[in-house]
């Protein structure tokens, strides 16, 4: 007997820390709140150094001996807020990780922070090195992340807000949702997942979306991102993304469309997932469940 085997040809997918992954990083280092920074070190490695600003002697002068007041998140960045209102930001971009456990590889460790009270050291690891680390004073922080530079957090949206932000735009909704100046935290993976659950075609122009549909997009955005946070984010086939304990996330097992071209849509169970390219990025959707109308 001959069994037919269908082999799916898939591209390897890189992980892009988006809101749920960065929120998972934040939660993973909450224990440093109240602890004192005892050392900050830029780790020398063979790779091209990542961007760290200002220079390390300034970072040490402003951080060592100071207490961490709060660990927060702004969009896709982890924010370590010091007692003097200085904030150290980890911006992981494509492959950055914040870790308290042994890293996936020593060679890509870029930065370390040590703490009092016996807290574990915090590492910043980055395979491709596109991420950034930077320290801002209160005024610099407020200016850089003012509403004109970064939109409201994706967990805080509602339909009316989305209609106000996007309602006159001619852009495709999927492309628009990735614009961090408009809404902060949604990336390429969750944009496809959100629009699939909301049953909106990714190429639909923003100015043709009704308030009712924006309501649905807003509710779905919050629900999906919160679910993904519960599952500690998505670790894709390349395995790059890890939580702070260097364990993979779990939300990839709940993806409906992302990186699933050719597989049947889990909603209609009938139509294969389609992959298209919008603004040089992959979009995945179901032609049956997500009509242009």
Query: Does 8 engage in binding with DNA (CB under 7 A)?
Result: no
Give the one residue of 29, 31, 109, 129 binding DNA; rule: CB under 7 A: 129
Residue 257 CB, nearest approach to DNA (Å): 12
Candidates 110-118, 124-132, 156-164, 195-203; binding stretch for DNA (CB under 7 A): 124-132
Q: Which is nearer to DNA, 67 or 93 (CB)?
A: 93
Residue among 258, 184, 185, 179 nearest 17 (CA): 185
Residue 250 CB, nearest approach to DNA (Å): 18
CA distance 256 to 246: 25
Query: Contact 271/286 with Cβ under 8 angstroms?
Result: yes
Considering only residues 130 to 149 of the shown chain, the ones binding DNA according to CB under 7 A are: 130, 148
User: Positive or negative, the Cα torsion across 147, 281, 241, 47?
Assistant: negative
Query: Does 242 engage in binding with DNA (CB under 7 A)?
Result: no
Residue among 78, 54, 58 nearest 68 (CA): 78
The residue ranges of DSSP E strands in the chain, in sequence order, are 37-42, 51-53, 68-74, 77-82, 87-91, 96-99, 109-115, 122-126, 132-136, 274-278, 281-285
User: Positive or negative, the Cα torsion across 113, 73, 192, 227?
Assistant: positive
Give the one residue of 36, 87, 110, 127 binding DNA; rule: CB under 7 A: 127
Give me 230's structure tokens: 């519960």
Considering only residues 16 to 55 of the shown chain, the ones binding DNA according to CB under 7 A are: 16, 18, 47-48
Residue 277 CB, nearest approach to DNA (Å): 7
Q: Round to the nearest angstrom and report the end-to-end CA distance of the chain.
A: 46
Residue 119 CB, nearest approach to DNA (Å): 27
CA distance 60 to 193: 41
Query: Does 161 engage in binding with DNA (CB under 7 A)?
Result: no
Query: Does 282 engage in binding with DNA (CB under 7 A)?
Result: yes
Q: Which is nearer to DNA, 3 or 9 (CB)?
A: 9
Candidates 65-73, 153-161, 181-189, 248-256; binding stretch for DNA (CB under 7 A): 181-189
Query: Does 67 engage in binding with DNA (CB under 7 A)?
Result: no
Considering only residues 69 to 108 of the shown chain, the ones binding DNA according to CB under 7 A are: 75-76, 91, 93-94, 107-108
Q: Which is nearer to DNA, 1 or 7 (CB)?
A: 7
CA 255 to chain CA centroid, nearest Å: 15
Give me 98's structure tokens: 């914040």
Query: Contact 153/145 with Cβ under 8 angstroms?
Result: no
For the annotated catalytic residues, the residue numbers are 17-18, 76, 281
Q: Which is nearer to DNA, 86 or 193 (CB)?
A: 193
CA distance 209 to 168: 10
Q: Which is nearer to DNA, 27 or 93 (CB)?
A: 93
Residue 48 CB, nearest approach to DNA (Å): 4
Residue 204 falls in which region: left (phi positive, over 0), alpha (psi -120 to 50) or beta: beta
Binding site for DNA (CB under 7 A): 9, 11-14, 16, 18, 47-48, 75-76, 91, 93-94, 107-108, 127-130, 148, 169-171, 175-176, 178, 180, 187-189, 238, 279-282
């Amino acid at each position: 007997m001959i069994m037919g085997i269908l082999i799916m040809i898939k591209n390897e997918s890189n992980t892009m820390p988006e809101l749920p992954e960065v929120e998972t990083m934040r939660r993973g280092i909450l224990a440093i709140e109240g602890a004192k920074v005892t050392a900050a070190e830029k780790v020398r490695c063979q790779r091209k150094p990542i961007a760290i600003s200002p220079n390390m002697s300034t970072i040490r002068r402003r951080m060592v001996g100071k207490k961490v007041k709060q660990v927060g998140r702004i969009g896709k960045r982890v924010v370590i807020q010091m007692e003097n209102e200085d904030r150290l930001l980890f911006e992981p971009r494509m492959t950055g990780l914040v870790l308290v456990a042994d890293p996936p590889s020593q060679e890509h460790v870029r930065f370390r922070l040590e703490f009092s009270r016996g807290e574990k050291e915090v590492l910043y690891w980055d395979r491709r090195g596109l991420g950034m680390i930077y320290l801002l004073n209160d005024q610099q922080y407020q200016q850089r992340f003012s509403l004109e530079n970064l939109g409201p957090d994706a967990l805080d949206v509602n339909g009316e807000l989305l209609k106000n932000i996007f309602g006159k735009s001619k852009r495709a909704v999927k492309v628009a949702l990735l614009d961090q100046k408009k809404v902060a935290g949604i990336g390429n993976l969750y944009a496809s997942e959100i629009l699939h659950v909301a049953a909106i075609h990714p190429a639909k122009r923003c100015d043709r979306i009704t308030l009712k549909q924006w309501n649905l997009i807003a509710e779905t955005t919050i629900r999906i991102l919160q679910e993904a946070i519960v599952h500690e984010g998505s670790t894709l086939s390349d395995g790059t993304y890890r939580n702070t304990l260097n364990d993979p996330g779990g939300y990839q097992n709940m993806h409906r469309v992302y990186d699933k071209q050719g597989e049947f849509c889990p909603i209609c169970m009938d139509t294969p997932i389609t992959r298209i390219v919008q603004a040089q990025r992959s979009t995945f959707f179901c032609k049956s469940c997500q009509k242009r109308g």
